Amino acid sequence: MVVDYFLESMKHPITLQNYIALLFFCTIFLVVIWVMNSLWMNLNNSKKIYLVDFACYKPEPSNMITKKGLLEGFRQHLDNDETLKFMGRIMDKCGLGDSTYGPNALIRDPPNPCMKEARSEAEMVIFGAIDGLLAKVKGFVAEDIGILVVNCSIFNVVPSLSAMIVNRYKLGDGILSYNLSGMGCSSGLIAIGLARNLLQVHRNAHALVVSTENITQNYYLGKDRSKVLANCIFRVGGAAILLSNRSSDRRSSKYQLIHTVNVTTSYSDSSYKCIFQEEDGEGKLGVNISRDLTSEASESIQLNLITLGRLVLPVSKQFMFLINQLIRSFHVAKIKPYVPEFNKTFDHFLPHAGGRPLLDELQRMLRFRDFEMEPARKTLHRYGNTSSSTVWYQLAYCEASGRIKRGDSVWQIAFGSGFNCSSVVWHAIRTVDLEESNPWSGEI
């Protein structure tokens, strides 16, 4: 009957009444699809997955580097005072402090960014994080790991970093091993999503996720300012995360994994080239960071929120969001995009600490308070942008400051090259006290 009505109406000029009726039925149809899709996504997350524990690597004090010290290290490679002054201004604006960590290759005099030093940085961070994790989880040994997912965006070697871990800890020949690359700062949460999918189909398994970046050989030594930006914000760091689908691990675990959401906007040329590794006019390799970074990040975040909103927001908020989208799509009236109150949905907000301008934009967009943004800003100031692992230093900050209480919801969101935007939602199984091995011990 409804179909016949609209077929008949198409024979006549569209009236206001027909337009309103069409809008009404479209709304009902989209609401039904929206609800069914949400139910389907929840059904796909049927098997419970737990975060047993995690560890963030804290480099030795000898690796600590000030902004002035970093510039002095670059001075031996860059005979250009204007470029160095530009780097200094950027570091002052990006929110990094004077206690971040650099690789040995840059701290040494003279600097030596060779492959051997790059491997050394990878081993230092990855093995340090995994050793710290194994020390925290009582009764667990490396041989119990059945799934291994490693993500490092820009440093890829043969054999792979995942193979390096298998070799070091003598993991079994039946282990499912994966190595993610080129996905930028969002790859850590993408790795969590991959591990979740694997744990959904492999029973009684433990998954180890290792998130890091390697900067020894990836500093840019040219004059292109869009490539110099990466030198100013990236620092040494990494994290190891242990996941389990065993019901017996619930009591000893800290969090339960609730949702993982990932979207990509690589179909857009401007988004695809927003963060792009290429050579400059002099043949020097670097990562170009476009002026459109903030706008491209905002677009991908909004797409991520649309999917996440269907999973975490009350039906009333979802309906308001849907109506707003319909009005804006049909140009019925000029209204601003409706941004749901995610700050009232989650107890803890942990966005990728990519730089002060990005954090400022996120706070403005999502209306989070200064207190809720504190873990991200403190992480950026103390550890710098450690790429995919920054969200874990933030969670460690929340634990160290006594913020994590039983029943709390935690939202991690990260974005990176591609452009990708990923969200992960956790539920705190228990109240977490300050641990001696926390990277923030003695810092807060």
What is the number of other CB atoms lying within 10 angstroms of the CB of residue 397? 25
Of 198-202, 338-342, 385-389, 438-442, give the lowest mean pLDDT range: 338-342
Q: Two tokens at 117?
A: 């030093």
Please tell me the pTM assigned to this model: 0.88
Distance CA(171)–CA(190), nearest Å, equals 23
Q: Which two tokens stand for residue 402?
A: 């006594």
Average pLDDT over residues 120-125: 97
Structure tokens that stand for 270 in this block:
């401007």
Q: Where are the chain's structural domains?
A: 2-44, 49-249, 257-428
257-428: what fold? Peroxisomal Thiolase; Chain A, domain 1 (3.40.47)
Q: How is domain 49-249 classified at the CATH fold level? A: Peroxisomal Thiolase; Chain A, domain 1 (3.40.47)
The tokens of 280 are what? 């400059």
For range 63-86, the mean pLDDT: 87
User: Can you say whether residue 83 is alpha, beta or left, with left for phi > 0 and alpha for psi between -120 and 50 degrees?
Assistant: alpha
- What pLDDT does 7 receive? 41
Q: Residue written as tokens 């403005």?
A: 364
Matching CATH topology for 49-249 and 257-428? yes
Cα gap 167→150, rounded to integer Å: 14
- How much helix, strand and coil, in percent to the nearest 5, is found in the chain? 50, 20, 35
Please give the backbone phi and psi of residue 73, each rounded to the nearest 5 degrees, phi first: -65, -40
Q: Is the peptide bond before 61 cis (omega within 30 degrees of 0)?
A: no
Are the C-beta atoms of residues 272 and 266 closer than 8 Å to each other?
Answer: yes
Instruction: Answer for the pair 389, 189: CB distance below 8 angstroms, yes or no.
Output: no
Does the pLDDT at position 172 exceed 50?
yes
What pLDDT sits at residue 130? 98
Of 10-24, 172-186, 406-420, the range with the lowest mean pLDDT is: 10-24
More confident site: 77 or 277: 277
Q: Closest Cα partner for 413 from 116, 193, 86, 90?
A: 193
Q: Over the stretch 126-168, which tens digit does the pLDDT of each residue have?
A: 999 999 999 999 999 999 999 999 999 999 999 999 999 999 9
**Residue type (1 letter), 411:** W
Segment 413-418 shows an average pLDDT of 94
Q: What would you measure as the largest C-alpha separation in the chain, in angstroms? A: 82
pLDDT at 43 over 50: no
Region 237-248 average pLDDT: 97
Give CA–CA dist 423/345, Å, rounded: 14
